Amino acid sequence: MRGVGILGAVSSPPSLEVSGLAFAYPDGHQALFGVDLRIERGERVALLGPNGAGKTTLVLHLNGVHRAGAGEVRVGGLEVTREHVQEIRRRVGIVFQDPDDQLFMPTVGDDVAFGPANFGVTEPELSQRVSDALDAVGMADLADRSPMHLSGGQRRRVALATVLACDPEILVLDEPSTHLDPVARRELAEVLLGLDRTMLMVTHDLPYALQLCPRSVVIDGGVVVADAPTWDILADPDLLAAHRLELPFGFAL
């Protein structure tokens, strides 16, 4: 049941609520041990941790690829279950690290239209969704271009547009700054900061987390070990060292 705020108004559920989430792979490896995480609408949160910490396993629970061994996951108040998986995958927009995993149609416009069309959106709304998503990432003038002829930064922004066109509840960004040159990195940051969306950014790029996400959650060994303002986490050298996180050489807070 949704909460009731002041004056009896019904409050919106959080974009993401993970409660007591535990998961073991078929080989017996326990990847998550009772993870709790709540992200309110409009929050931008970085998910930090070393390789093998459980970050990817957690993300794959958000869109129903993995099913919880214990606990539950809710997206916009809707529980992630088999019967809800179609709507959950619309609500959770995952932008993969490699744009090649998302761009496969002849033109940029075709790629951006693919997702919403698959979820049943038809004309004229479909064309409007494509136009709005490309505008949001600054790529409107490239709708008729082949994605294969774009730069790495442009392809990353088009991949983001393919997800935005589905109108997700939460954007999940997997290592968004990887392999981007400094200009493309800045351009993507400007786009992301301009979006009115809840975001969960999985990254090893600590300066990018600081730039984009006021809050960070550190996961290691399948449990949440820290949840605090990003600045506070990055200013704690003992915490960073304990969980194999490291700021770039010469980077000063």
What domains can you pick out in the chain, each with its CATH number?
Answer: 6-242 (3.40.50.300)
* CA angle, 162 then 166 then 169, to 5°: 115
What pLDDT score does 3 carry? 44
Decide: helix, strand or coil at residue 131: helix
Q: What is the pLDDT of residues 7-56, one digit of tens each?
A: 555 578 999 999 999 999 999 999 999 999 999 999 999 999 999 999 99
What pLDDT score does 40 carry? 97
Max intra-chain CA distance, the chain: 55
CA–CA distance, 97 with 174 (Å, rounded to integer):
5
pLDDT band, very low/low/confident/very high, at 251 (cuts 50, 70, 90)? confident
The H or E element spanning position 225 is strand 223-229
pLDDT band, very low/low/confident/very high, at 4 (cuts 50, 70, 90)? very low
What pLDDT score does 250 carry? 84
CA distances from 40 to 2, 210, 240 (A): 13, 19, 25
Report the percentage of the chain scoring pLDDT > 70. Answer: 96
Average pLDDT on 170-196 reads 96
Average pLDDT on 185-200 reads 96
What pLDDT score does 249 carry? 87
Decide: helix, strand or coil at residue 6: helix
Average pLDDT on 189-216 reads 97
141 phi and psi angles, rounded to 5 deg? -80, 0
What pLDDT score does 27 carry? 95
Quote the pTM value: 0.92
